[in-house]
């Protein structure tokens, strides 16, 4: 299924972590399960249309298929073949549709496994409003944030034991005998690790993102008022990293008021922090004051979904899992198996994840081309069923028809 032309070449990563992208890169794709093949076909149409519109014949993507999920199981007998993991690393950049979580033992989640095995430590979710999208909010246009959610620790470490198990009983006994902690009988037990190393690399990537794009602030979101040595440490380590590595480019919120009269110095981004529940309220009431959020795993999980709900739902919410060696861009919703093969569902999430992919490889002209055309399509009320039923006077189109409508509106 892969297409290799004479100009196809691999993307490489230099020692500073920057990508070197050839004019005709090989980029991996996993079409996904359920509605995955439908939304992938639509996304491919849009991405190829944008690259052609932006660069003519000077640039081209050579897609390389990688197998995972039900298709992989059918063809190889494995849900996630080793060859696929090596393929993502070789491509450096890949995109995927939603994958089924296998029922039963073994792999807890293919998505989580991909993130952990490939050390894709930053789950990046940009959330912004496209005019005309149905929203429950009075001013959804004020939402324009990027969530950097730590992908390998906190609850995603998955260290837990069921109530009544030998392990849970042993840990409860150890806590009581060693630390005087008395748990109720039949307690399930989980461990929530957070490390300096993994916090710092997440915050570093968030700060660099804000600097590269000229955004005004990075906010550390935590529950450090209660969990002082995990979530509180996330806050402290984040501030320390910013002041140590970006001293001349950042300023803390407290410094702004104590030293600069409440006004940030020109050219510096403000690093601030908010307690998680307060941040949730701020995301609803004053979203325009926040630009990049850096969060431990669980905080970022609910915040990114809540933000997406304000601007039209997960159908228009892109996402990426990014590490130092490779990046995997993905739809943020599930497989919706009852709509599989019906050419019906909204491909917006995967198309916008493709926009993130284009930005990641530095093809910003093509990325902008997609975003402008997508905005025009939504403004013209040419949308799939999930949006059409919420928009007066909309023209409902199929998944593939939506892709062609976006391409038609490219300038």
pLDDT exceeds 70 at position 104? no
Span 343-365, pLDDT tens digits: 999 999 999 999 999 999 999 99
Please give the backbone phi and psi of residue 61, each rounded to the nearest 5 degrees, phi first: -95, 130
Span 252-305, pLDDT tens digits: 999 999 999 999 999 999 999 999 999 999 999 999 999 999 999 999 999 999
Residue 201's Cβ-side half-sphere holds a number of Cα atoms within 13 Å equal to 17
- Residues 6+ positions from 62 with CB-CB distance below 8 Å: 2, 3, 4, 5, 8, 24, 25, 26, 27
Provide DSSP, 101-128.
PPSSSS-S-HHHHHHHHTT--EEEEEEE
Q: What stretch of H or E contains 39? A: helix 36-55
Q: What stretch of H or E contains 160? A: strand 159-161
Percentage of the chain surpassing pLDDT 70? 97
Q: Where residue 15 falls among pLDDT bands split at 50, 70, 90?
A: confident
Catalytic residue ranges: 156, 223, 277, 301
Give the residue ranges of the annotated binding site for NADP(+).
100, 333-339, 346, 385, 389
Instruction: Check residue 3 and give its pLDDT.
Output: 45
Interval 18-22 mean pLDDT: 94
Q: What stretch of H or E contains 272? A: strand 269-275
Instruction: Check residue 109 and give its pLDDT.
Output: 82
Span 180-207, pLDDT tens digits: 999 999 999 999 999 999 999 999 999 9
Domains of the chain listed by start with CATH number: 1-125+317-411 (3.40.718.10), 136-151+194-310 (3.40.718.10), 154-192 (no CATH)
Q: What is the DSSP letter of 360?
A: H
- For 226, the 3-state DSSP assignment is coil
Interval 318-331 mean pLDDT: 95
Q: Where residue 116 falls among pLDDT bands split at 50, 70, 90?
A: confident
Tokens, residue 254: 């407290």
Give the residue ranges of the annotated binding site.
100, 109, 111, 115, 125, 149, 301, 333-339, 346, 385, 389
- Residues 6+ positions from 297 with CB-CB distance below 8 Å: 123, 149, 150, 151, 152, 153, 154, 155, 156
Instruction: Check residue 321 and give its pLDDT.
Output: 96
Give the residue ranges of the annotated binding site for D-threo-isocitrate.
109, 111, 115, 125, 149
* Partners of 128 in the β-ladder: 144
Span 312-324, pLDDT tens digits: 887 788 999 999 9
Q: Where residue 55 falls among pLDDT bands split at 50, 70, 90?
A: very high
Distance CA 118, CA 329 (A): 13
User: Out of 28-42, 98-112, 350-364, which region has the weakest mean confidence (pLDDT)?
Assistant: 98-112
Average pLDDT over the chain, rounded to whole?
94
Percentage of the chain surpassing pLDDT 90? 87
Distance CA 40, CA 58 (A): 24
User: Which of 195, 212, 182, 184 lies closest to 156 in space, CA to CA?
Assistant: 195
Longest Cα pair distance anywhere in the chain, in angstroms?
A: 70
Tokens, residue 54: 């932006």
Distance CA 78, CA 67 (A): 9
Distance CA 117, CA 287 (A): 34
Q: Any idea of the CA torsion for 153, 155, 157, 159, to the nearest 10 degrees?
A: 140
Distance CA 324, CA 19 (A): 10
Q: What is the CA radius of gyration of the chain?
A: 22
Instruction: Check residue 6 and give its pLDDT.
Output: 61
Instruction: Check residue 1 and give its pLDDT.
Output: 39
Instruction: Check residue 157 and give its pLDDT.
Output: 86
Instruction: Check residue 119 and give its pLDDT.
Output: 94
């Amino acid at each position: 299924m892969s297409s290799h032309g004479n100009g196809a070449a691999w993307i490489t990563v230099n020692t500073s972590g920057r990508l070197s992208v050839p004019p005709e890169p090989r980029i991996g794709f996993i079409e996904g399960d359920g509605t995955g093949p439908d939304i992938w076909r639509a996304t491919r149409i849009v991405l190829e249309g944008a690259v052609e519109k932006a660069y003519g014949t000077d640039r081209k993507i050579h897609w390389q298929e990688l197998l995972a999920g039900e298709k992989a199981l059918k063809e190889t007998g494995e849900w996630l073949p080793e060859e696929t993991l090596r393929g993502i690393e070789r491509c450096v950049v890949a995109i995927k549709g939603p994958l089924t979580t296998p029922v039963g033992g073994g792999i807890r989640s293919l998505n989580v496994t991909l993130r952990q095995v490939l050390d894709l430590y930053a789950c990046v979710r940009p959330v912004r409003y496209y005019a005309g999208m149905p929203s429950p909010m009075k001013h959804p246009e004020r939402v324009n944030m990027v969530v950097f959610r730590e992908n390998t620790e906190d609850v995603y470490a998955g260290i837990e034991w069921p109530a009544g198990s030998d392990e849970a009983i042993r840990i409860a006994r150890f806590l009581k005998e060693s630390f005087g902690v008395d748990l109720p009988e039949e307690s399930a037990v989980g461990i929530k690790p957070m490390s300096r190393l993994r916090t710092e690399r997440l915050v570093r990537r968030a700060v660099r993102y804000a600097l590269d794009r000229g955004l005004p602030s990075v906010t550390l979101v935590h529950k450090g008022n209660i969990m002082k040595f995990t979530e509180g440490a996330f806050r402290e380590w984040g501030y320390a990293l910013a002041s140590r590595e970006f001293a001349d480019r950042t300023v803390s919120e407290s410094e702004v008021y104590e030293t600069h009269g409440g006004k940030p110095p020109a050219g510096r981004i403000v690093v601030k922090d908010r307690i998680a529940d307060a941040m949730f309220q701020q995301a609803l009431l004053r979203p325009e004051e926040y630009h990049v959020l850096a969060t431990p795993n669980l905080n970022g999980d609910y915040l990114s979904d809540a933000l997406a709900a304000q601007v039209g739902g997960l159908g228009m919410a892109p996402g990426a899992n990014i590490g130092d060696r490779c990046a995997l861009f993905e739809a943020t919703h599930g497989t919706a198996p009852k709509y599989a093969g019906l050419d019906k569902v909204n491909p917006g999430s995967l198309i916008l994840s493709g926009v993130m992919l284009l930005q990641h490889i530095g093809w910003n002209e093509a990325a902008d081309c997609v975003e402008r055309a997508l905005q025009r399509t939504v403004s013209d009320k040419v949308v799939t069923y999930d949006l059409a039923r919420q928009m007066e006077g909309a023209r409902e189109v199929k998944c593939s028809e939506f892709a062609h409508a976006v391409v038609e509106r490219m300038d």
